[in-house]
């Protein structure tokens, strides 16, 4: 009887060891996933709801088994929300490490410098990885840049990051403004910077263009910036044709061919560099500029010089068959 009892105990221990080994192996063994996949854990998800999602996605064989093992081997209270990439063959242990590590997939949305708010709105609304709806943001309230977001994040949250970035940028740059700047408020700075941004694609010209407009404002001259004609027509989108004489003469809150001073507000979302240029403009006597045919501009101090430069530009356009 003693021998039988001894062997029974040994058998039981062996069985328990086998069960334990299988339990551990089930935690570290390769999982059923045959190809890399992504899973989205919603904010506030519990280990139970996450496990069910993992089972449905084929990441784990059994939600219950994953939960039981996770309770013993992992910290179930630290599962993060977001989109996660799960590699093929990931074990239960690997999966929990991924979900608790918080390294979510980061996607990017880029807002080019000088884009109007209507185009920012359209880009965010067209992104099917974002959720919810937004209104067209205030012109000049967004800092052009590339912004990371997670799948199923709200458009409102992404837009807020863009606007917060502009707020921080203005808070940083405004106290550093030069005594040569003609703008009196951050709002005026954004307005003039948006015009400067639309007038040149060259960062090397931003301060010079800002200097020209600063001179014109000081002398009470009209800015005569073509982008301010286009903005009321298209809300900042490309016009797609030549500006008409009637549009040049149109009196509205933006057309700087029909008013002295700045328009009522920004005509685009300016870059940090354009804002810096307006707050620290080039010291120059130039009052005019026109395209040079090479992607930049030629500047002039007098109307006579400017008219000669315009004739050269027209000659280039005629040679190209544009006139």
Mean pLDDT of 148-169: 95
Same structural domain for residues 195 and 294? yes
**Higher-scoring residue by pLDDT: 137, 14:** 137
Residue 216 lies in a domain: yes
Residue 55 shares a structural domain with residue 139: no
Percent of the chain residues topping a pLDDT of 90: 62
Specify whether the CB–CB gap between 132 and 121 falls below 8 A: no
Both 237 and 122 in one domain: the answer is no
Do 203 and 245 reside in the same domain of the chain? yes
- What is the chain's mean pLDDT, rounded? 88
Q: In this structure, are 94 and 220 located in the same domain?
A: no
Q: How many domains are there within the chain?
A: 3
Q: How confident is the model at residue 225 (pLDDT cuts 50, 70, 90)?
A: very high
76-104: average pLDDT? 81
pTM: 0.80
Q: Are residues 306 and 232 in the same domain?
A: yes
| Residue-wise DSSP of 46-87 | -HHHHHHHHHHTTSSS-HHHHHHHHHHHS-GGGPPPEEEEE-
In a domain, 122, yes or no: yes
Residue 41: CATH number of its domain: 3.30.1490.480
Query: Model confidence at 75, in pLDDT bands (50, 70, 90)?
Result: low
Q: Would you say 84 and 39 are in contact if contact means Cβ atoms under 8 Å apart?
A: yes
Q: What gap in Å lies between CA 267 and CA 115, rounded to an integer?
A: 9
* Amino acid 4: pLDDT: 55
C-alpha of 180 from chain center: 32
Residues 6+ apart with CB under 8 A from 38: 83, 84, 85, 86, 105, 151
Q: Domain range holding 138?
A: 107-169
Residues belonging to the chain? 323
One domain, residues 37 and 161: no
Among 80, 101, 122, the domain-final residue is: 101
Ranges 68-72, 148-152, 219-223, most confident: 219-223
pLDDT band at 20 (very low <50, low <70, confident <90, very high): very low
Any domain includes 306: yes
Taking alpha carbons only, the member of 165, 195, 323, 209 closest to residue 256 is 195
Backbone angles phi, psi at 88, to 5 degrees: -60, 140
> Does 286 have pLDDT greater than 60?
yes
- Give pLDDT tens digits for 96-138: 888 887 678 888 999 999 999 999 999 999 999 999 999 999 9
Hunting for tokens 């935690």 — which residue is that? 27
Same domain assignment for residues 36 and 70 = yes
């Amino acid at each position: 009887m003693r021998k039988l009892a001894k062997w029974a105990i040994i058998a039981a221990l062996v069985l328990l060891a086998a069960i334990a080994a299988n339990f551990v192996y089930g935690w570290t063994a390769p999982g059923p996933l045959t190809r890399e996949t992504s899973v989205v854990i919603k904010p506030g998800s519990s280990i139970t709801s996450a496990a069910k999602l993992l089972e449905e996605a084929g990441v784990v064989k059994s939600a219950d088994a994953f939960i039981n093992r996770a309770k013993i081997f992992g910290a179930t209270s630290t599962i993060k929300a977001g989109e996660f990439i799960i590699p093929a063959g990931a074990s239960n242990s690997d999966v929990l490490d991924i979900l608790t590590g918080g390294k979510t997939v980061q996607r990017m949305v880029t807002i080019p410098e000088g884009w109007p708010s209507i185009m920012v709105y359209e880009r965010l609304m067209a992104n099917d990885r974002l959720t919810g709806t937004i209104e067209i943001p205030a012109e000049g309230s967004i800092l052009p840049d590339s912004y990371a977001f997670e799948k199923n994040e709200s458009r409102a949250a992404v837009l807020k990051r863009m606007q917060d970035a502009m707020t921080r940028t203005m808070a940083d740059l405004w106290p550093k403004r030069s005594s040569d700047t003609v703008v009196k408020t951050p709002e005026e700075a954004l307005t003039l910077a948006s015009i400067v941004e639309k007038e040149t694609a060259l960062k090397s010209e931003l301060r010079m263009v800002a200097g020209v407009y600063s001179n014109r404002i000081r002398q009470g001259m009209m800015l005569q910036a073509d982008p301010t004609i286009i903005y009321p027509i298209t809300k900042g989108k490309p016009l797609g044709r030549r500006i008409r004489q009637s549009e040049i003469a149109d009196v509205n809150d933006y057309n700087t061919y029909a008013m002295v001073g700045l328009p009522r507000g920004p005509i685009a979302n300016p870059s940090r560099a354009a804002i810096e240029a307006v707050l620290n403009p080039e010291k120059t006597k130039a009052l005019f500029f026109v395209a040079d045919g090479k992607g930049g501009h030629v500047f002039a101090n007098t109307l006579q010089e400017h008219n000669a430069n315009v004739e050269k530009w027209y000659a280039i356009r005629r040679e190209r068959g544009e006139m």
